[in-house]
Structures are given as C-alpha cells and as structure tokens.
Amino acid sequence: MNIELPKKEINGLSMLISICIPQYNRIKFLLESLRIIEQQEYPHIEIIISDDCSTDETESKILGLSGDYKYRIRYSKNRTNLGYDRNLRKAISLASGEYVIIIGNDDTINPAYNLEELVQFIQMNNYPDIGFTNYIDEGDQYITKRAQETKVLGSGPEMALKYYSCFSFVGGIVIKREVFLKYDTEKYDGSIYTQIYMACMVVASGYVLFSISAPVVIKDVLHKEKDRLSYLDFIPKKWSGYKRIDGGLPSVLHVLISALKDSGTLSQNLVYKAFRKIYFTTLPYWILEYRKQGAFPAAVGIIHGMFPLTVKNREKMTGFSQLKIFSLYIGTSAGSLVFPIGLFEKIKPKLYNWIKK
C-alpha cells in the first residue's frame, strides 16, 4: 500500500526536505512526533512513513490525519515485514526531497530548531553530501554532542574512520537523496548498522561530510511510557545471569572495515586505527556505563566478549599491531573496572567531547 495524503501549497525557499521515518507499531510515539514536527516554520517539508507491517492502528491513524496535517505525508505499508535495515532504506527511497533527515518513530524534530537554518547552511556550503546533527533527550534534556561544530568536515577514509560512530544513532542523519540512491545496498540488511556502512562508504569514497551542532532531533518522545525498553532491560545485573556479550562492537568494526574495503581505501593502518578507537574509547565507555547502572556482571561480560583473539578482522592487521591492541585491551579493561564511577559521571561530558574531536 502506498498512499500520499494531500499536498499543501507552500511558498518561500525551494529546497524540499524529506523527514523519513521507518515505522513499526508504537503509533502513539509516531503521532506525538508528528504533532511536534507541525511546529516547524519551514514550509518545504514532506513526511515519509514506511510502515513495516505494523499490527496496531498505524494505518488508520495516519490515514485519519488526512488533509488536516500541516505537511504532505507519504505513507507506505509493506506487504511483508522487511526488518529495520530494509525498512529504513525503503523510507529513504520513497523520499522526493533533495535532502533527507532520518528519525526513529519515537524521535522528532526539535521545534526550537528551524529547518530553514539547515537549508541555509547547505546552500552556503556548496551542498555537502552527508551529515549528522546533535540530539537532545526528552527525559533529562541532556544534549549528546556528537557534532562539536556546525561546519563542513571533509571527506576520505580518515574522515570516515574518525566519525563513523556518529552514525550509530540514526536520528539526525542528513543525506543528499541522489547520493543515497547511488550507494543504497542490501549488503548489511539484518545487521541494524546499515546506516553506518552507507555513511562510511559515502565519505570514504570522497563525498563531503558535515556536522550541525544544534540539537536538531529530540530523542525518545513520551519517554515515561511504560512500554519503552532500553538496553538496561537486556543486560545481566546478577551473576546468575552472567553471559558473554559484545554490545555489537565486533559487528560495528566489521561494517566499518567492510565499507573502507568496498570504497577501495582500506589499509592495514586503517584497520589498526579502527580497532584502537573501539578498544581505547568505546569499550571502556560501556564498561563504565554498565558499572554505573549496577550491572557489574555485564561489565565483565563485555570484556569477555571483546577478547581480541575472537574478534573478526584482526588478521587484517600486522602481528605487532595485534599485540598493541591486546595490550590496550588489558589496560583499558582493568582500568575501567576500578575507575571511580562518581568521577566518571563528572567528566563524562568532557570525555565525550574529547572523543568526538
């Protein structure tokens, strides 16, 4: 099913921005998101909703908006459940805007940010190809500063390696639609990391990356709802539930290295740098985060799961580089298990900013 609700007459700037939302159930979150998006002042917006066979009232509720909604809505319901990655790609492929902004169905566009500012930045900077924005949590109003500045960052494999983690959260990813269509692939469907692969391929291949420091996206609308789950609901907090976990980090590494390889830019040094970033920053962060949540078994479990000799792609490094990664693993793991949690909380924002620089 593919239904386009009535298009509103709009005047002003000419660039159409498509807000793409992969949808599956939780219609109350999506309706709240759409309500907030209506507060935007920029007139040239379309909403793309790709419904992955929702079993709730998604179809009737969205169609019920009819002509009352401020912006044009294009609603498409899949005949079969495609899964997250394929449905994400489907949502983008349905867009007709020059640029696409992706959000989850429980996220929204911050009404304090006028999308006209994004359009002006794009036009003034020679139409860069792909970017990411900061986002703010609806619950505690904490701003995640994955973007340190509003600027054009550059292109190439080193740039892809430096900023790949900024694409792990899908909300606030901005991409030129014609670039997406060129690099759209089913290669990592089922991984939940297709956006990382796509972004790294695009940037490593020479397309221009940019960042927006404003919190353009609000994460987790209706954050107090009881049916919202988080990672805390799935990690072991008691030793009786201990298990080896890896937090998806080996998969992220594999997707990143594969993107560099497919772009023709992979080298042994880049593989080493990718491993070093994971073991020096991401792994210790999650060890400390699990400890902060009272989940010490999970902290030990992720150390177990990230034992370097079991992580794929290590063979693409030299023997000396593998030894350095193993030494880094021992040092950061041990240090993260004893580092004071109170101090971690105090310096966490500064650490995050330093990592992203």
Q: Kindly state the tokens that stand for 129.
A: 């190809």
- Whole-model pTM? 0.91
Helix (H) or strand (E) holding 218: strand 209-219
pLDDT at residue 6 tops 70: no
Spell out the domains of the chain, with CATH numbers in brackets. 2-219 (3.90.550.10), 231-356 (no CATH)
Residue percentage of the chain with pLDDT more than 70: 92
Give residue 348's pLDDT. 72
Give residue 300's pLDDT. 97
Give residue 272's pLDDT. 97
Confidence of residue 239 (pLDDT cuts 50, 70, 90): very high
How does DSSP assign 117-163, residue by residue?
HHHHHHHHTT--SEEEEEEEETTT--EE-S-SSSEEEE-SHHHHHHH
CA angle 37, 38, 42 (to 5 degrees): 85
pLDDT at residue 337 tops 60: yes
Confidence of residue 347 (pLDDT cuts 50, 70, 90): confident
Report d(CA 311, CA 282) in Å as an integer: 15
Give residue 355's pLDDT. 64
- Contact (Cβ atoms closer than 8 angstroms) between residue 95 and residue 46: yes
- Contact (Cβ atoms closer than 8 angstroms) between residue 259 and residue 160: yes
Confidence of residue 10 (pLDDT cuts 50, 70, 90): very low
Give residue 229's pLDDT. 60
pLDDT single digits (tens) 66-112: 678 999 999 999 999 999 999 999 999 999 999 999 999 999 999 99
Report d(CA 72, CA 7) in Å as an integer: 5
pLDDT single digits (tens) 115-140: 999 999 999 999 999 999 999 998 88
Q: How far is CA 102 from CA 23, 141, 218, 288, 301, in A?
A: 12, 20, 12, 30, 33
Q: How far is CA 223 from CA 57, 137, 292, 340, 355, in A?
A: 20, 9, 20, 29, 27
Tell me the average pLDDT across 239-252: 94
Helix (H) or strand (E) holding 348: helix 341-356
Tell me the average pLDDT across 199-203: 97
pLDDT at residue 3 tops 80: no
Confidence of residue 7 (pLDDT cuts 50, 70, 90): very low
Nearest to 165 by CA among 199, 130, 189: 199
pLDDT single digits (tens) 291-301: 999 999 999 99
* Residue 250: partners with Cβ closer than 8 Å, 6 or more residues away: 306, 311, 312
47-73 residues labelled b (16+ CB within 10 A) or e (exposed): bbbbbbbbeeebbeebeeeeeebbbbb
Three-state SS across 42-75? CCCEEEEEEECCCCCCHHHHHHHHHHHCCCEEEE
Give residue 303's pLDDT. 97
Say which range, 47-56, 202-211, 223-232, 263-272, has the weakest mean pLDDT: 223-232
Tell me the average pLDDT across 166-187: 96
Give residue 284's pLDDT. 94
Average pLDDT, the chain: 92
Tell me the average pLDDT across 23-52: 96
Give residue 354's pLDDT. 67
Confidence of residue 357 (pLDDT cuts 50, 70, 90): low
pLDDT at residue 12 tops 60: no
- Contact (Cβ atoms closer than 8 angstroms) between residue 27 and residue 58: yes
Q: Kindly state the tokens that stand for 48.
A: 């793309």
CB-neighbour burial class of residue 329 (10 A; exposed 0-12, middle 13-18, buried 19+) = buried
pLDDT at residue 145 tops 60: yes
pLDDT at residue 205 tops 50: yes
Helix (H/G/I), strand (E/B), else coil: 245 = coil
Tell me the average pLDDT across 197-206: 97
pLDDT at residue 324 tops 80: yes
